[in-house]
């Protein structure tokens, strides 16, 4: 846009612009489509490009994210999470306390998962392209509980484990990114792993995803002492095959 005097309008508009949240980058529908297409290609080429997977999730989640937000708003624990905005990262976790919890508890098994797979909760990218501050938190929360999904489902971070978790998350969240990962992730698996995936793991992940209540409605930070088996039963997740 141009000012009334024929210039300066764009500069004035940019000076008056403020990000919706730290790191937010406003984008048009066309820009989102281009980002989605490019990130999808890169994510399929290299599924471990977490930055591309993150961009794909943000640029294609326009329908799924509001639905997840509404599920959280309509659930007492989920609503409290939206109000208090807890974060799961090294600065908020008492790792020594979690390591000292009994075997089988959520906190101890979560730390064991991080240690065994050499991953850190701080590797989750902050949102950039979600044009709503509350929805940006929803996708941030989804990313930060992803390792807890691995813990609850008993799945490692290798390609087979990631595909299984993506099937569960696709059913749970409806995020196109998860659907894409579930559908195309298996192309890199061996024939033996494909057979196990098709006959045992995918049917179990789908049944668990359909049966379980929304996993974003759990205040995990207040459940560290709870046994994993107890939380699985509460949520409706079947024991891993």
Quickly list DSSP for the chain: ---TTSS-HHHHHHHT---SSTT-----HHHHHHHHHHHHHHHHH-TT-HHHHHHHHHHH-TTHHHHHHHHHHTSHHHHHHHHH----STTT--HHHHHTSPTTBHHHHHHHHHHHHT--GGGSPPP-S-SSHHHHHHHHHHHHTHHHHHHHHT--SSHHHHHHHHHHHHHHH--HHHHHHHHHGGGGS-HHHHHHIIIIIHHHHHHHHHHSPPGGG--GGG-TTSBHHHHHHHHTPPPP-
Task: Identify which has the larger pLDDT, 195 or 12.
Answer: 195
Answer yes or no: is 225 within a domain. yes
pLDDT value at position 13?
44
Q: What would the mean pLDDT of 7-31 be, rounded to a whole number?
A: 72
pLDDT at 12 over 70: no
Answer yes or no: is 128 within a domain. yes
Q: What would the mean pLDDT of 10-16 be, rounded to a whole number?
A: 47
pLDDT at 1 over 70: no
pLDDT band at 5 (very low <50, low <70, confident <90, very high): very low
Which tens digits make up the pLDDT trace of 156-203?
Answer: 999 999 999 999 999 999 999 999 989 988 888 899 999 999 999 999
Answer yes or no: is 19 within a domain. no
* Mean pLDDT computed over every residue of the chain: 90
Among the residue ranges 3-7, 13-17, 145-149, the one predicted with the least confidence is 3-7
Answer yes or no: is 187 within a domain. yes
pLDDT value at position 188?
82
Q: What would the mean pLDDT of 114-118 be, rounded to a whole number?
A: 94
pLDDT band at 43 (very low <50, low <70, confident <90, very high): confident
Q: In the chain, how many domains are there?
A: 1
pLDDT value at position 11?
45
Answer yes or no: is 7 within a domain. no
pLDDT value at position 14?
47
Q: What percent of the chain has pLDDT over 90?
A: 78
Answer yes or no: is 4 within a domain. no
Answer yes or no: is 23 within a domain. no
pLDDT value at position 187?
85
Which tens digits make up the pLDDT trace of 140-161?
Answer: 999 999 999 999 999 999 999 9
pLDDT value at position 17?
61
Answer yes or no: is 11 within a domain. no
Q: Look up the domain containing 164 and give its range.
A: 29-152+159-235
């Amino acid at each position: 846009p141009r000012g009334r005097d024929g210039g300066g309008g764009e500069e004035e508009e940019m000076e008056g612009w403020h990000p919706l949240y730290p790191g937010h980058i406003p984008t048009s529908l066309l820009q989102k489509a281009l980002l989605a297409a490019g990130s999808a290609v890169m994510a399929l080429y290299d599924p471990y490009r977490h930055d591309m997977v993150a961009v794909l999730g943000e640029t294609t989640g326009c329908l799924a994210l509001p639905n997840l937000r509404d599920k959280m708003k309509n659930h007492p624990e989920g609503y409290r999470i939206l109000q208090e905005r807890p974060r799961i990262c090294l600065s908020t976790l008492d790792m020594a306390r979690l390591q000292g919890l009994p075997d089988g508890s959520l906190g101890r098994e979560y730390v064991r998962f991080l240690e065994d797979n050499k991953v850190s909760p701080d590797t989750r990218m902050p949102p950039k392209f979600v044009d709503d501050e509350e929805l940006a938190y929803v996708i941030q929360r989804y990313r930060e509980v992803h390792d807890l999904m691995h813990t609850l489902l008993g799945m490692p971070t290798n390609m087979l484990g990631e595909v299984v978790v993506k099937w569960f998350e696709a059913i749970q969240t409806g995020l196109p990114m998860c659907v894409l990962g579930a559908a195309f992730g298996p192309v890199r698996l061996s024939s033996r792993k494909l057979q196990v995936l098709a006959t045992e793991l995918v049917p179990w992940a789908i049944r668990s995803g359909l049966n379980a209540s929304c996993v974003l409605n759990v205040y995990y930070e207040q459940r560290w002492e709870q046994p994993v088996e107890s939380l699985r039963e509460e949520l409706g997740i079947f024991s891993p095959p």
